[in-house]
Amino acid sequence: MREDNIRFEARRPEDFPDWRFDYLDIGYEEATRSFWMEYKATAPHYFPLEMFVEIVAVRRSLLRLIESDKEGCWPVRYFVIASRRPGVFGLGGDLAAFAAAVRGRHTETLREHAEICVDIMHGLATGFGLPIVTLSAVHGQCLGGAFEGALVTDFLIAEENARLGLPEIAFNTFPGMGAVSLLGRRLPGALAQRIVSGGEIYTGREMYDLGVVHALAPPGKIRDAARQWMAPDEALWRRRRGLAEARRIQYGVSRDELSDGVNAWVECVLGLSEHDLRHLDRLVAAQKRLRAQVPEDVSPALRASC
């Protein structure tokens, strides 16, 4: 996991918001006191392990920032997850790495992915233990693990024509990074199970009608809609902050629950047949066709991952 590499370490509070990452763009908007973590346009459409490590580094950086706030002037109210990738919020996990790990019986590789996903999901589920509200701003395709990551935030805004779903059933597995728990807390049990096990893709409008998405944006207007949703309003902010905290207390997902889910996922993935893996290979090819075109001046590590 190369955690000795400086890019995976917490950034210095004094450099905020000018923190630099290979896969993530970091921004801060003072009007809404919002911290934006966006997947770069040049990043892979899926989530390689190193991108997960950078997300952990973002959390560590925020914790250091608040620890350094001696005046009590914490500048962040909203933590926003978005994507700069055209037409794609995220296509889920690194399927090529998963297929290679299964064929090579590299159980530890799968467990490494699973453990860091648990760390990220639990951090988001608890708002990193910070006085913030987390928000996903979704456009385009948001599938598999990317949808699970959006579900774990306090609120989810999506463009009306965004495409959200959990297609893992296509290769005889299931979404193991929290979707079962998260949808089960938002929806009636039978409906949650239908979404988890049916493999259907839903529009943002359909997910809003079901109650999974909290607010809609017109096509191409997700950032404007997110900014408007976060418009400065002290009473609104306090209500949302209180609601988010109350939901975490009442419906929160524990680390143990997430760990149990990913352990079940690892066992399921290790049992995939060669027929399943060949179908997975076709999905990998589709991921690669959709990958971002990476300029020559980006880091070799990022270029290689694409």
- Per-residue pLDDT of the chain (306 residues), as tens digits, is 444 444 568 999 999 999 999 999 999 999 999 999 999 999 999 999 999 999 999 999 999 988 887 666 678 999 999 999 999 999 998 989 999 999 999 998 898 888 999 999 999 999 999 989 999 999 999 999 999 999 999 999 999 999 999 999 888 999 999 999 999 999 999 999 999 999 999 999 999 999 999 999 999 999 999 999 999 889 999 999 999 999 999 999 999 999 999 999 999 999 999 988 988 888 888 777 765 443 333 333 333 333
263 is a domain residue: yes
299 is a domain residue: no
54 close to 11: Cβ distance less than 8 angstroms: no
Is this prediction's pTM over 0.85?
A: yes
Give me the CATH number covering residue 57.
3.90.226.10
Residue 25's φ and ψ, nearest 5 degrees, are -100, 130
Q: For the packed helices 49-67 and 107-125, what is the interaxial angle rounded to 10 degrees? A: 40
271 is a domain residue: yes
Domain that holds residue 121: 6-223+245-293
230 is a domain residue: no
Interatomic CA distance for residues 182 and 147, integer angstroms: 11
Q: In 3-state terms, what secondary structure has residue 158?
A: strand
305 is a domain residue: no
- What pLDDT does residue 73 have? 67
Q: Which of 204, 206, 239 is nearest to 219 (CA)?
A: 204
- What pLDDT does residue 55 have? 95
18 is a domain residue: yes
Q: Which of 276, 269, 274, 295 is nearest to 107 (CA)?
A: 269
- The rounded radius of gyration (Å) of the Cα atoms in the chain is 19
300 is a domain residue: no
Number of domains in the chain: 1
142 close to 90: Cβ distance less than 8 angstroms: yes
